[in-house]
Amino acid sequence: MATIHTLQEIQKALSGVNLTPYIEQGFIAYSNNEVIVPPVGELIFDDPPGDTHIKYGYIKGDEIYVIKIASGFYNNPELGLSSSSGLMLVFSQKTGILQNILLDDGHLTNIRTAIAGQIAAKHLAPETINTIGVLGTGIQARMQVEYLKSVTPCREVVVWGRTPERVEEYKYDLETKGFNVAQADSPAQVASSVNLIITTTPSSTPLLFAADIQPGTHITAMGSDTDKKQELDSSILARADIVIGDSISQCRERGEISKALAAGVIEEKHIIELGNYISNTPPFKRDNKTISVVDLTGVAVQDIQIAAAVCEKLMQMNREPRSKVS
């Protein structure tokens, strides 16, 4: 019978697992057309307002397939509940039988998203990062920075957010985690003093423009995941030396790249898919004037791979001899 795993068990399983190679291999498999990812399923609710998304797919020849269900119900905080919830179901690709139910409540999605940013920085960021600039003060604004710890020794952060209280909380949280956090009055002020920018807001109008960006800057844009949201003015993508998307087909429809394509300032043939970029040798070389943009819209292969990693570890933990009761 399928085993059910609580968030606590999942967190225990995650400790000590290096997830980055899983997600990298996922992006590579995706760019090699080895991943089947049908269109996202969606349910929209009016009263109370909410939405549920079903993402699912598999890597050809793999052991498993994964169905992820994630919900956002925006009045939940009034009831003392988190607005987001969700789970992942892991099935055998050989028999179709359900193997694991991961009641992760969206935690694995947060991690796989943070790791995609880490991978973008690992492969694209300037060799020496002087300061990390962050737009936004939410979960990803925190996690993206934490997950950079293994990529750079830089612990200097400049943050901008719309709500002063949230910025204060953000500063406090990140400082307890070993970062020095300065506050900026505007997105442009963030960009003026950093060479790595992470954008993590739900903005639907551009926050940064080409003139704001310093030469030598890398930008990971992960806030925009729909056709409505936009954080970077298309002039930035037009000016960038290299533009990478996590999924070209998805970036055609949503995220920063879709806006720049629609504006006619970039051409699809110049966009590189993240998995192709990672696996390509020799890699793109940046100099101190290079501007790079990675647009992350979120691909189901990230879910497949993080679920695979967790299930492997859970199986391994299960095989380990239990401590004897003497």
Chain residues that interact with its own copies, rule: CB under 8 A: 1-2, 4, 6, 36, 38, 41-45, 47-48, 50, 52, 54, 56-58, 61, 65, 67, 69, 71-73, 76, 79, 81, 85, 87, 89, 91, 93-98, 101, 103
And the tokens for 151?
A: 């990529």
Tokens 């939940």 belong to: 76
Give 27 or 91: the residue with its C-beta nearer to its own copies.
91
Give 74 or 172: the residue with its C-beta nearer to its own copies.
74
Q: Dihedral (C-alpha) 301, 306, 311, 316: value to the nearest 10 degrees?
A: 130
Prior bond of 48 cis (ω within 30°) = yes
Instruction: Indicate the SS3 state at residue 248.
Output: helix
CA distance 144 to 304: 20
What is the smallest separation between the CB atom of 226 and its own copies, expressed in angstroms? 17
Element (H, E) at 3: strand 3-5
What is the smallest separation between the CB atom of 73 and its own copies, expressed in angstroms? 4
What is the smallest separation between the CB atom of 269 and its own copies, expressed in angstroms? 31
From residue 279, alpha-carbon distances to 26, 30, 113, 117 in Å are 11, 11, 20, 17
Give 8 or 323: the residue with its C-beta nearer to its own copies.
8
Give 68 or 171: the residue with its C-beta nearer to its own copies.
68
What is the smallest separation between the CB atom of 247 and its own copies, expressed in angstroms? 18
What is the smallest separation between the CB atom of 301 and its own copies, expressed in angstroms? 14
Nearest one of 197, 236, 233 to 217, comparing CA atoms: 197
Give 57 or 223: the residue with its C-beta nearer to its own copies.
57
What is the smallest separation between the CB atom of 8 and its own copies, expressed in angstroms? 11
CA atoms within 13 A on the CB side of 117: 28
What b/e sequence results for 259-286 when a residue is b if at least 16 CB atoms lie within 10 Å of its CB, and e otherwise? Answer: bbbeeebbeeeebbbbbebbbeeeeeeb
Can you give the length of the chain in residues?
326
Prior bond of 282 cis (ω within 30°) = yes
Nearest one of 118, 146, 145 to 134, comparing CA atoms: 145
What is the smallest separation between the CB atom of 50 and its own copies, expressed in angstroms? 5
Give 47 or 127: the residue with its C-beta nearer to its own copies.
47
CA distance 132 to 149: 11
Element (H, E) at 113: helix 107-124
Q: Where are the beta strands (DSSP E) in 23-136?
A: 35-36, 41-45, 50-59, 64-73, 84-92, 98-102, 132-135
Query: Which DSSP category does 103 fall into?
Result: -
Give 38 or 164: the residue with its C-beta nearer to its own copies.
38
Give 97 or 325: the residue with its C-beta nearer to its own copies.
97
Give 89 or 197: the residue with its C-beta nearer to its own copies.
89
What is the smallest separation between the CB atom of 19 and its own copies, expressed in angstroms? 24
What is the smallest separation between the CB atom of 70 and its own copies, expressed in angstroms? 9
